[in-house]
């Protein structure tokens, strides 16, 4: 069995801006990184039609193309990009220890360093019409896509601080924002509620849910149902933003690395270090505040640099022991 176990210096779990940036830096540092893409190669950006806020693309770029280019750049420096899902991990708690990983329940790998960049998945309502129009006016990121609806009427679903913050963001660039709150009150902090209520072009509708997103190719309107009276009505909008939360893709790392109560991996200080020596986390899997492609890429760079420095310290320590 042992001869079938592959030994890797740097294993990157998950693709996307964080993973690919980590791969670029790790490859240039001669760490010979191997990446397993996970279930959604390229991450959330593969479902984004336009990326207009990533530096270096003056005319913008569509998400899938950007991910292909990042992969090509990582491969140009020697990264091995493999399709596969990590299904089991057993991280060593010893400094300089070897981390054991299983891919697709069959492939066994030993890694000197591991970079986790599995991201987070936006929660959606689950309506067929909503899923059909993702990328056609349905979005889970107002900061990412709100600009495309400048001067237009939009709606946002959610009741927490994130929903309130995104509603006010949209109100500054859109003509009108309809905010749908499922209960008879918002969960957002009082300060955020005051901010929403202070915007003249935000209408908050309580006890309201989306019955159907209207439109064939793009969003044209919304059918809303009052969950108290069952009354339905329609409004004309061009964009629908879902702000009901994200779920970090960290289930496989449960009981291995330290996480917060919602499953985001906790990193130490300004680094990407986890509580396990040689295991690092970057991108949305450890960032629930910004969740932008550019910030994910930045932490990917940090993770590769942290991994490189860690390996250098381990090697130096081993040389001292031998001497």
Nearest CA-CA partner of 113 in 123, 98, 135? 98
H-run or E-run covering 321: helix 293-322
From the candidates 10, 52, 62, 145, give the one annotated as an active-site residue: 145
CA torsion 176-180-185-191 (nearest 10°) is -40
How far is the C-alpha of 244 from the C-alpha of 122, rounded, in Å? 8
141 annotated active-site: yes
288 by DSSP, 3-state: which?
coil
How far is the C-alpha of 172 from the C-alpha of 41, rounded, in Å? 34
Nearest CA-CA partner of 87 in 237, 223, 254, 295? 254
From the candidates 52, 62, 141, 306, give the one annotated as an active-site residue: 141
144 annotated active-site: yes
Residue 208 contacts residue 180 (beta carbons within 8 Å): yes
- 45: tokens are 């950006």
**Tokens 């879902």 map to which residue?**
242
- 96: tokens are 């300089």
> Taking the chain, what is the end-to-end CA distance rounded to the nearest angstrom?
33
10 annotated active-site: no
From the candidates 10, 62, 104, 144, give the one annotated as an active-site residue: 144
93 by DSSP, 3-state: which?
coil
Nearest CA-CA partner of 166 in 95, 239, 260, 232? 239
Residue 217 contacts residue 136 (beta carbons within 8 Å): yes
Catalogue the active-site residues.
141, 144-145
């Amino acid at each position: 069995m042992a001869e079938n176990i592959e030994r890797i210096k740097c294993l990157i779990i998950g693709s996307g801006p964080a993973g690919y940036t980590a791969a670029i830096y790790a490859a240039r540092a001669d760490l010979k990184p191997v990446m397993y893409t996970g279930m959604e190669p390229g991450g959330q950006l593969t479902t984004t039609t336009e990326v207009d806020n990533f530096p270096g693309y003056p005319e913008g770029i569509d998400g899938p193309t950007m991910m292909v280019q990042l992969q090509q750049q990582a491969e140009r420096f020697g990264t091995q990009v493999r399709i596969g899902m990590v299904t089991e991990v057993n991280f060593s708690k010893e400094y300089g220890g070897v981390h054991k990983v299983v891919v697709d329940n069959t492939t066994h790998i030993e890694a000197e360093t591991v970079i986790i960049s599995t991201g987070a998945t936006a929660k959606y309502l689950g309506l067929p019409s909503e899923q059909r129009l993702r990328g056609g006016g349905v979005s889970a990121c107002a900061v990412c896509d709100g600009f495309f609806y400048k001067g237009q009427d939009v709606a946002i679903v959610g009741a927490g601080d994130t929903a309130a913050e995104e509603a006010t963001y949209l109100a500054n660039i859109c003509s009108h924002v309809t905010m749908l709150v499922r209960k008879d009150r918002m969960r957002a902090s009082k300060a955020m509620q005051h901010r929403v209520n202070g915007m003249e072009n935000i209408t908050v509708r309580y006890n309201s849910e989306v019955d159907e997103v209207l439109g064939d190719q793009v969003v044209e309107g919304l059918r809303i149902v009052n969950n108290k009276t069952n009354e339905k009505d329609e409004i004309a909008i061009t964009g629908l933003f879902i702000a009901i939360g994200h779920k970090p893709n960290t289930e496989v790392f449960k009981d291995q690395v330290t996480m917060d109560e919602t499953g985001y991996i906790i990193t130490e200080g300004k680094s990407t270090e986890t509580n396990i020596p040689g295991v690092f986390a970057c991108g949305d899997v450890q960032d629930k505040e910004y969740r932008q492609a550019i910030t994910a890429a930045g932490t990917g760079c940090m993770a590769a640099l942290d991994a490189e420095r860690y390996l250098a310290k381990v090697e130096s320590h081993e040389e001292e022991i031998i001497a």
